[in-house]
Amino acid sequence: MTTAIPDAPKLTAKDFASDQDVRWCPGCGDYAILNQVRKVAAKLGSRREKTVFVSGIGCSSRFPYYMNTYGFHTIHGRAPALATGVKIANPELDVWVVTGDGDGLSIGGNHLMHILRRNVNVNIMLFNNRIYGLTKGQYSPTSEEGKKTKSSPMGSIDLPLSPLSLALACEASFAARAIDVDRGLAAILERAALHKGTSFVEIYQDCNIFNHKAFNYATDKQAKLENTVTLEHGKPLIFGKDRNKGIMIDANHKPQVVTIGQDGVSEADLLLHDEHDERLAFTLSRMNHPDFPEPMGVYYDIEDDCYETMLDKQVADAVKAKGPGTLEDLFNAGDIYTVEG
Amino acid sequence: MSAGSAQTQGNNPVKEVLSAVVRFAGDSGDGMQLAGTQFTETSAIVGNDIATLPDFPAEIRAPAGTVAGVSGFQINFAATDIHTPGDIVNALIAMNPAAFKAHIDDVETGGIVIVNDSEFEKVNLRKAGYPEGYNPLDDDQFNQKFKVYRIPITRLNQESLADTGMGAKDIGRCKNMFALGLIYWMYDKPLDTTIQYLENYFGKKKKLPQVAQANVTSLKAGFHFGETADIFATRYHVAKAPITPGKYRKITGNEALAIGLVTASHLAEKTLIYCSYPITPASDVLHYLAAMRNYGVKTFQAEDEIAAVCSAIGVAFAGQLGVTGTSGPGLALKAEAVGLAVMTELPMIILNVQRGGPSTGLPTKTEQSDLLQALFGRNGDCPVVVLAPKSPGDCFDTAIEAVRIAFRHMIPVMILSDGYLANGAEPWMLPDAHSFDKIPVEHPTDADTFEPYARDENLARPWAIPGTPGLEHRLGGLEKEHISGNVSYDPENHQTMTDLRHEKIQKVCEFIPAIEPHGNAAGDLLVLGWGGTYGSIITAVDNARKAGHSVSAAHLRYLNPLPQNLGELMSRFKKVLIPELNTGQLRMLVRAKYLVDAKGLNKIQGKPFLIEEIEQAIELMLDGSWGSRESLTPRAHQVTVDS
């Protein structure tokens, strides 16, 4: 995590902008995310030289070019693997992984799975636009069933997956969901950045060319009140424009939408959010529109050891136990024998 | 076995021989690799020169008793300088009928065959695929050709451990030590190295003192059986080899790679981070390095081959020594990422311990068929430096050289080892820890002059690492603009950058030694080789020279770039022969680049060349009977123009 250097001047969001022209399509949700990330970096006192943005391939993966930090635009799906190498080599760096639904969940699914279970201390932003944008509009692993695209003219027959369910199943220590244009994004990114371990943030992002308004239900001023529910630790799950709807766990341990004041339901009956409850987090990750309001915010947040820290500890422990190995020791290990002259 | 003078010691005469080739063969669970390794260790310690060839099945435990499940270990130990594990077996130890069947053809006429007679019964004979009612030990064709000793090893071992109270299964596990003890007696070797090993490994490490004791008992029982049974006419002794005085250890190619990488990391004052996914025959490098944390080594067992190479690139980006190791199929998976390392011009090492291919191929057998993959197996014009060690010990020097080149030129370097070098062993003289030049590394810090793709006199770009204020820059797989490193789609720029990536490789040429011929600088025939075939080639060429032929050898360590004088060297010889364990990959390059009508001896049988095969090819080249054929292949160890 970032530690501000006391005598270094505090940077502004603008200081995190590189000299490169941003080349996303006008109106793309990526702009909003980029602005928020720059602001969060400034607010947290991040140092440009200690920050590294690593991405794969796709629209979202152009992100590093627009940050005036160290950056690596890698190859398709491999950002988590490369970022792991960076953290093992230098755990002091502040590493962000930028990926998308195709890059992170399709071609790079395996690496996402393993960086999460290892709990490498990086922040992953998965821009989910439910479409392949850079290759001009094919369905993605999060596209809804039946979606008609250039590569699925009769409708997609793939069942979409839930990025958050996947992350939780992969032992994520931090999982959250946010929306590109929502004000809540900055707060969630801040928490992700401060979390020790892999933080996984799914960001609903509008591709205004190939999948425009895919998330209208969650971003429209009126609709979002009915279709999303904001998670707050220790607070009941309440939503609706009149703040009179909520989520209750029924006798079958399943979530259900209820109205406060109807059928004897009171606020006290509602589900309380607990960021440390793995099963609850998973239940929340299965709540999809239109059957449920989709939860926004931090699903899950626990503390656990980080891979690169434990690896460093093994090195330190070995040095302590055996002494720091020299070349002399290295050559003389094993069964040595002398050939006399 | 070379003849020598006989002497007498005790009841049995001890015959002095210059060298001996012994092969241990048994079921893959019979502990033959351990027996072979111990025999090697002892031979090295008593001062023999050694070369070994372990040969095991890809299956951990193939069906017991079958030919598919036979595991072998061959060792050549000598009183002279040797370079190969030997063409022909002087003494075979066959622990069951399948081992006998699989290996008997490799034994010299008149050679020693010790069989575990206890196992030559109906069921095992059937499992080995012999016809019902047939026992090869009763067959005159074998008894007349070899000195066959039928020893009931299983039973004798059982009897020697009868008082231990151990179960039959555990007792059975010690029979390899009985066999080893017998062979120690037969070759007049001391037991103490193995006893010490057994006490340390089973006694101290595994905390099984009873097992240690039982193994020692079996070992001694085997030795004493040889002494007292009075069935062996002769014992043999191989004197010390004239080895340069000094401290030695036995080393395998994979060990030497691991030690070489650690050495390089210390010389460069960088942390070695080895990122790998387990794959035969490269996994041992990961195992060795994982046990070296106290040398500052970090290992990362990645989720797959692609993650392994990508994490190593991440390590390089962050300023440490990133290495990934694999074998052929894994290299194929890494191809795209190696291209990323080429595009981003980051220094890293890719180890490829070659095995038989294509596809999964022959995981535990050796081959040299990844040369073209190493050189060209990526999208785009994507050159990397490629080096190949020539012997197990040379893996050490090659690893250091690879790191030196990678850091000096900011370039990925690939090392092509192979299964034969990886598992084969030879004596290795311990280098002087103070004799190495440091590997200089510079990281820029001056923000005013920094350009990510500016270049020094070697065309290397600056290695600016995250954490350095003012040098923030972005790398990636998209084409880079010359100097600035910004993304560029400009046609002229792409030409410039492609040319630069090639010129960078050629710059390496200025630092590599000229290729020197072994033998005369000109003559009738040059035998050109690369990698693990060195030992066979050099021995065959030496033999041909002793026979009066005008033959020289030359061996390539640098496959890309090739040494500057290679074309000139070849032009001094009337003919060029290139023996390779592939269908002629170096030959294709040499013909294309130098327009030389090089001929190939090509063997793709999962095994190294026999010296004899290369000798035969040399004869055919020199007496003109080779003709215009581009290549020949040994069949059943014979190279003929009809093959």
Least confident of A202-206, A327-331, B29-33, B616-620: B29-33
Selecting from A75, A85, A111 the residue whose C-beta is nearest the C-beta of B322 gives A85
Same domain, B12 and B130: yes
Same domain, B271 and B138: no
Smallest CA-to-CA distance from A50 within A100, A16, A85 is with A16
pLDDT for A1: 45
List the domain range (segments joined by +) for residue B601.
523-641
Burial letters A12-41, b for 16+ CB under 10 A, else e? ebeebebeeeeebeeebbbbbbbebbbbbb
| A94-151 pLDDT tens trace | 999 999 999 999 999 999 999 999 999 999 999 999 999 999 999 999 999 999 999 9
The pLDDT > 90 percentage for chain B reads: 94
| B319-376 pLDDT tens trace | 999 999 999 999 999 999 999 999 999 999 999 999 999 999 999 999 999 999 999 9
DSSP annotation of B456: -
CB B537 within 8 A of CB B581: no
pLDDT for A6: 55
Q: Is residue B518 assigned to a domain?
A: no
Q: Is residue B604 assigned to a domain?
A: yes
pLDDT for B9: 46
**Interface test with chain B among A11, A66, A75, by most B beta carbons within 10 Å:** A75
Whether the per-residue pLDDT at A253 is higher than 50: the answer is yes
Instruction: Return the SS3 of B643.
Output: coil
Distance CA(B480)–CA(B493), nearest Å, equals 8
Q: What is the pTM for the complete model shown?
A: 0.94
Smallest CA-to-CA distance from B617 within B550, B557, B554, B541 is with B541
Selecting from A49, A71, A110 the residue whose C-beta is nearest the C-beta of B304 gives A110
Indicate yes or no: CB of A334 within 8 angstroms of CB of B249: yes
Residue B302: Cβ-neighbour burial (10 angstroms; 0-12, 13-18, 19+): buried
Q: Is residue B477 assigned to a domain?
A: yes
Domain total in chain B:
4
Q: Using the 3D structure, point to which of B455, B486, B511 is the last residue of a domain.
A: B511
CB B342 within 8 A of CB A113: no
Same domain, B275 and B415: yes
Q: Is residue B244 assigned to a domain?
A: no
Find the farthest-apart pair of alpha carbons in chain A and give their distance in angstroms, rounded. 99
The sign one gets for the Cα dihedral A27, A30, A33, A37 is: negative
Distance CA(B424)–CA(B430), nearest Å, equals 18
Instruction: Return the SS3 of B49.
Output: strand
A82 touches B: beta carbon within 8 Å: yes
Distance CA(B155)–CA(B157), nearest Å, equals 5
- Give whole-number Cα distances, A101 to A29, A203, B494, in Å: 14, 10, 31
Same domain, B277 and B316: yes
Indicate yes or no: CB of B317 within 8 angstroms of CB of A86: yes
Selecting from B316, B340, B469 the residue whose C-beta is nearest the C-beta of A75 gives B340
pLDDT for B11: 60
Q: Is residue B1 assigned to a domain?
A: no
Same domain, B295 and B165: no
Query: DSSP secondary structure string, A192-225?
Result: HHHSSS-EEEEEE---TTTSTTTTHHHHSTTHHH
Distance CA(A27)–CA(A40), nearest Å, equals 21
Q: Which residues of chain B make contact with A49, given a CB cutoff of 8 A?
A: 466-472
Q: Which residues of chain A make contact with B201, given a CB cutoff of 8 A?
A: none
Preceding omega of B209 cis (within 30 degrees of 0): no
Smallest CA-to-CA distance from B95 within B171, B178, B166, B170 is with B178
Indicate yes or no: CB of A75 within 8 angstroms of CB of B475: no
For A317, which residue in chain B has the nearest alpha carbon? B294
| A20-47 pLDDT tens trace | 999 999 999 999 999 999 999 999 999 9
Same domain, B269 and B310: yes
For tokens 């020199």, name the residue.
B622
Indicate yes or no: CB of B467 within 8 angstroms of CB of A89: no
Q: How far apart are the first and last CA of chain A?
A: 59
**Residue that wins the pLDDT comparison between B415 and A5:** B415
**Residue that wins the pLDDT comparison between A5 and B199:** B199
CB B85 within 8 A of CB B52: yes
Same domain, B214 and B185: yes
pLDDT for A315: 98
CATH number of the domain within which B587 lies: 3.40.50.920
A7 touches B: beta carbon within 8 Å: no
pLDDT average, residue stretch A230-240: 98
| A42-65 pLDDT tens trace | 999 999 999 999 999 999 999 999
Compute the nearest-CA separation of A154 from chain B (Å).
Answer: 33
Compute the nearest-CA separation of B158 from chain A (Å).
Answer: 31
Q: Which residues of chain B make contact with A64, given a CB cutoff of 8 A?
A: 474, 476
| A153-167 pLDDT tens trace | 999 999 999 999 999
DSSP annotation of A16: G
A26 touches B: beta carbon within 8 Å: no
CATH number of the domain within which B296 lies: 3.40.50.970
Q: Which residues of chain B make contact with A103, given a CB cutoff of 8 A?
A: none
pLDDT for B4: 38
CB A260 within 8 A of CB A268: no
Indicate yes or no: CB of A54 within 8 angstroms of CB of B292: no
pLDDT for A5: 53
Phi/psi for B630 (5° steps) reads -75, -35
Same domain, B286 and B410: yes
Q: Is residue B243 assigned to a domain?
A: no
CB B483 within 8 A of CB B346: no
Query: DSSP secondary structure string, A23-87?
Result: -SPTT-HHHHHHHHHHHHHHHTT--GGGEEEEE-SSSGGGGGGGBSSEEEE-STT-HHHHHHHHH
Walk me through the domains of chain A, giving residue ranges and CATH numbers.
Answer: 13-214 (3.40.50.970)
Burial letters A264-294, b for 16+ CB under 10 A, else e? ebeeeebbebebeeeebbbbbbebeeeebbb
The pLDDT > 70 percentage for chain A reads: 98
Distance CA(B123)–CA(B65), nearest Å, equals 9
Q: Is residue B517 assigned to a domain?
A: no
Same domain, B354 and B288: yes
Neighbours of A252 (CB within 10 A): 6
Q: Is residue B131 assigned to a domain?
A: yes
Same domain, B427 and B447: no
pLDDT for B7: 42
Q: Using the 3D structure, point to which of B435, B468, B488 is the last residue of a domain.
A: B435
Computed over every residue of chain A, the mean pLDDT equals: 96
Same domain, B198 and B51: yes
Q: Using the 3D structure, point to which of B205, B237, B269 is the last residue of a domain.
A: B237
Compute the nearest-CA separation of B473 from chain A (Å).
Answer: 5
Same domain, B130 and B210: yes
Amino acid at B397: D
Compute the nearest-CA separation of A9 from chain B (Å).
Answer: 13
Question: Which regions in chain B score pLDDT beneath 50?
Answer: 1-9
**Interface test with chain A among B49, B196, B267, B310, by most A beta carbons within 10 Å:** B310
pLDDT for B8: 40
**Interface test with chain A among B293, B432, B473, by most A beta carbons within 10 Å:** B293
| A269-309 pLDDT tens trace | 999 999 999 999 999 999 999 999 999 999 999 999 999 99
pLDDT for B395: 98
Scanning chain A, the segments in alpha helix (DSSP H) are 29-43, 79-89, 101-102, 109-118, 163-169, 184-194, 216-219, 223-227, 278-285, 307-322, 327-332
Q: Give the strand order in the sheet containing B385-387.
A: B298-301, B272-276, B321-326, B348-354, B412-418, B385-387, B558-560
Distance CA(A261)–CA(A238), nearest Å, equals 13
DSSP annotation of A4: -
Q: Which residues of chain B make contact with A317, given a CB cutoff of 8 A?
A: 293
Selecting from B45, B303, B336 the residue whose C-beta is nearest the C-beta of A335 gives B45
For tokens 């990133």, name the residue.
B322
